[in-house]
Amino acid sequence: MTNIKNQLDSSILIKGRTVENRVLLAPMAGLGHVAFRELVEKFNGFGLLFTGMCSAKAIPHENPDVSQVFKWRKQELPRLVCQIFGSDAVSMAKAAERIEKEGFFGVDLNFGCSVAAICRRGCGAELLKTPSLVSKIVEQVRKAVSIPVFVKFRTGWQDNRDFAVDMAKRFEDAGADALVFHPRVAPDRRSRPPRWSHIAHVKKAVSIPVFGNGNIFDINDCTKIIEHTGCDGVSLGRIAVAKPWIAASFTREFIPGKNIYAYTAMEMTRLLLKYYNEHFAIKLFKKFVPYFSANFKFGHSICRKLIKKNSIHEIQKNIETIFKDTPETLERPNLNMFM
């Protein structure tokens, strides 16, 4: 255990830049917003944070003061990577230029999203159907910026390990500096477990860092994925929403106290109001709640209570009541509540 924690807590170079540790916050649209990242940063456990996907076409004209997604705190920029989705090399390269100008650590290209609305527009995992376009996009982005270029991708549209390996080589040849690999096929949206064994083959095929992603929920999962695949680090998605302190428990020996749940829920409401109007803050809080409630034995009931109210003040009063006596928690969150 100590060994794996030391490993996760060791620095890694990405395009010659030091990343303090090997635990990444995965990009999550609607969950990984600026308020959530500020909450996560209070525990200070992640080596890098990723924004949810932002439209490459929109980025050159986005105003961070009013944008709901292309929004950040200045202090997080040194470890913040902006993820973009798009369908053509020119708009992806232009977006990357703005991202570099704003001072982000890096840019991440989305070749993994399989949501129909994104694939219909020729973006995300849909691009994996045209490998030559994939290469062109990465090449153009590489030419446009000197910050690190990340690629997030999944296995493809069929469970073909060789295809994933081939794509990984393509990304590296086109100039990507690090890969985050989610070994699932595209139509499969988290219903079946990811095939971690594919990560080992991707890792062997390239010399840039490879981060494993998908169903990593605790330190034992980290041990398994790193020992079995040789990947350089991990990218945590839904478990980080359930337990925003999880990376700190891996990399900083953080041990949560009894009041962690009340504190987390309350801070989430406070930070959401700091960045968004009340209507939108409540909408985002309701997205966060099912993951957070998965920590509890009676999670469904807590979830229902937490999302019932229609003002932040009422939600906060509710949080005080629900967490006055800490509800019974589960060793491993109820994964049925993870969407």
82 is catalytic: no
Q: Which residue is nearest to ligand FMN (CB)?
A: 237
Contact letters for ligand FMN, residues 30-59 (x by CB under 6 A) = xx--------------------xx------
Q: Regarding beta strands 12-14 and 17-19, do their DSSP bridges make them parallel or antiparallel, or are they unpaired?
A: antiparallel
Count residues contacting ligand FMN (CB under 6 A)? 22
- How far, in Å, CA of 26 to CA of 152, rounded? 9
| Pairs from 59-66 (Cβ < 8 Å, separation ≥ 24) | 59/84, 59/94, 59/95, 59/98, 59/99, 60/94, 60/95, 60/98, 64/102
Q: Which two tokens stand for residue 57?
A: 């076409």
Cβ neighbourhood burial of 154 (10 Å; 0-12, 13-18, 19+) = buried
Count the neighbouring beta carbons within 10 Å of the beta carbon of residue 31: 18
Catalytic residue among 54, 113, 231, 303: 113
Q: Is 29 in the site for ligand FMN (CB under 6 A)?
A: yes
Instruction: Answer whether 83's CB lies under 8 Å from 96's CB.
Output: no
Q: Is 119 in the site for ligand FMN (CB under 6 A)?
A: no
Minimum CB separation from ligand FMN for residue 24, in Å?
Answer: 10
Looking at the Cβ atoms of 98 and 212, the one nearer to ligand FMN is 212
- How far, in Å, CA of 157 to CA of 164, rounded? 10
Looking at the Cβ atoms of 98 and 152, the one nearer to ligand FMN is 152
Q: Is 215 in the site for ligand FMN (CB under 6 A)?
A: yes
Residues 51 to 110: which contact ligand FMN by CB under 6 A?
A: 52-53, 83, 110
Q: Is 216 in the site for ligand FMN (CB under 6 A)?
A: yes
Among 96, 113, 128, 242, binds ligand FMN (CB under 6 A): 113
Minimum CB separation from ligand FMN for residue 267, in Å?
Answer: 20
- How far, in Å, CA of 296 to CA of 104, rounded? 36
User: Which are the catalytic amino acids?
Assistant: 113
- Per CB under 6 A, residues contacting ligand FMN are 26-31, 52-53, 83, 110, 112-113, 152, 182, 213-216, 236-239
